[in-house]
Structure 1
Amino acid sequence: MGIGPALPIIDSEPAERADAARNRKLLLDAAAELVRTGGADALTMDAVAKQAGVGKGTVFRRFGNRAGLMYALLDESDRKLQAAYMFGPPPLGPGAPPLERLCAYGRARLAFTEIEGDVRRAATDNSSHYGGAPYNLTKTHVSILLRQAGTPGDIALLADALLAPLGAALVLHQIRRLGFTLEQVGDNWEALVRRIVPATDARHPDDNRTVE
């Protein structure tokens, strides 16, 4: 029995000066608030500058363009979710059975999608999304939990199959067009997970490592 490598952490940016880090947080908080209240269409460089109380040039110098701003906003969101499932309390973080951690992950991802779904849909509406670091890290996390739970079958394909229903485009369609609530979508995803994953309390002491 060997222990595989721990989950990789999304590549961190070069260390920033304290004032630069504060400015970045100010701008991203402003962007997040705009998306939360007005959706992706509200996310413009002018609007972020006004919301943050800075000049438009400051936003352009920091992010380059609207696409860069969207990427930075999603990157920040991904980092928060990653920190929660790697280091946070159970059931999302280490310490709970793999099955319960998987269910908690889906709920957490859906909660983020409800707020930033339009931005995420626009940013991930291409095949390159599946080769990017955020998706691969998420897939690695789900794959580890599937293995820890003793799930039979092709783990890589199962991980993709479980992540597909959490995609922003589908979730927004289910909520806005089909009339389902976020709770219903989450309940359905959890039911799917529980059909696939064996119910067991067995887990490796270090939940972020694979057992081979």
Structure 2
Amino acid sequence: MEERRDAAEHRQRILQTARRLFAEQGVDQVGMYQIARAAQVGQGTLYRRFAHKGILCQALLEESCVNLQTTILSYLEQTDSEGVPVFEQINYLLLQLITYTEENAPLLGAMLDASSGDRRTQSYHSPFYLWMRELFLVLLTRGVMRHELPEQDLDYVVDVMLAPLDIDFYHYQRHERGFSQQRIAANLRQFLAHGLNPNP
């Protein structure tokens, strides 16, 4: 029991320290050794809990993920009862994801940087991504069944819908192409309107 309490305390100390250092210096500027030293834990203790920086960043995102999921589920519950079209629900979800990506870009970027080899597609197997993918798939299927959306290969379409929010591509559009968050959102909506909506 004491050992589990110590492990939990170490985990919280590491996360709090990482959050503070990232805020002070930027995610890219802080290494695992620096986090271990500032948290006053051994590197072995740090790596037993977080095998690499990407997993540490994923843990820091958990609260944001839960908040986003709560917001989305509350919205869907309300709009289902109001009969809001599926396309509008999908558009709302995408806007929420764009905001989430914008606000958490440094952590998401660090997760991508830590990916290599077999870890290259790791983010597509995270609980949050799988949850979002399944949710979009349910909405798309519902839209087809209600004849609000045309029939198509939904299992493929859902990945295409989420692809523009891949952090690497999003960073490229935001910082190399100079697109604003609002411009990305508006054009993604227009693109989906022509691809999904039979009456755009």
Tell me the residue number matched to 2:67: 80
Counterpart contact for 2:14–2:35, Cα < 8 Å:
no
Counterpart contact for 2:28–2:110, Cα < 8 Å:
no
Tell me the residue number matched to 1:146: 140
The letter of the residue matching 1:95 is Q
Equivalenced residue count is: 176
Q: Where in structure 2 are there 5+ consecutive unaligned residues?
A: none
Tell me the residue number matched to 1:209: none
User: Max radius of gyration: which structure?
Assistant: 2
Q: Between Structure 1 and Structure 2, which shows a larger proportion of helix residues?
A: 2
Counterpart contact for 1:49–1:55, Cα < 8 Å:
yes
Counterpart contact for 2:123–2:129, Cα < 8 Å:
yes
Output the CA distance in 2 between the equivalents of 1:132 and 1:115. Answer: 19
- Counting only pairs closer than 5 Å after superposition, residues 11-160 of structure 1 correspond to structure 2 as 20=8, 24=12, 28=15, 31-32=18-19, 35=22, 38-45=25-32, 46=34, 55-57=40-42, 60=46, 63=50, 65-86=52-73, 88=74, 90=75, 93-96=76-79, 97=84, 98-124=86-112, 125=115, 126-150=120-144, 151=149, 152-160=151-159
Output the CA distance in 1 between the equivalents of 2:91 and 2:16. Answer: 28
Q: CA deviation at 1:29?
A: 5.9
User: Normalization by structure 2: what TM-score?
Assistant: 0.68
Q: CA deviation at 1:56?
A: 4.5
CA deviations on 1:100-134 (whole Å, 9 max, x unpaired) are 22112212212222232233234245224334433
CA deviations on 1:79-109 (whole Å, 9 max, x unpaired) are 33222212x3x2xx42223222211221221
| Percent identity (aligned) | 22
- Counting only pairs closer than 5 Å after superposition, residues 192-207 of structure 1 correspond to structure 2 as 192-198=191-197
Q: Where in structure 1 are there 5+ consecutive unaligned residues?
A: 1-15, 201-212
CA deviations on 1:10-58 (whole Å, 9 max, x unpaired) are xxxxxx97xx48x73x7646645655665431444535985xxx53459
The letter of the residue matching 2:167 is A
Tell me the residue number matched to 2:181: 182
The letter of the residue matching 1:85 is I
SS of residue in 2 equivalent to 1:179: coil
| RMSD after superposition | 3.4
The letter of the residue matching 1:134 is F
User: Normalization by structure 1: what TM-score?
Assistant: 0.65
Tell me: higher relative CO, structure 1 or 2? Use CA pairs within 8 A at least 6 residues apart. 1
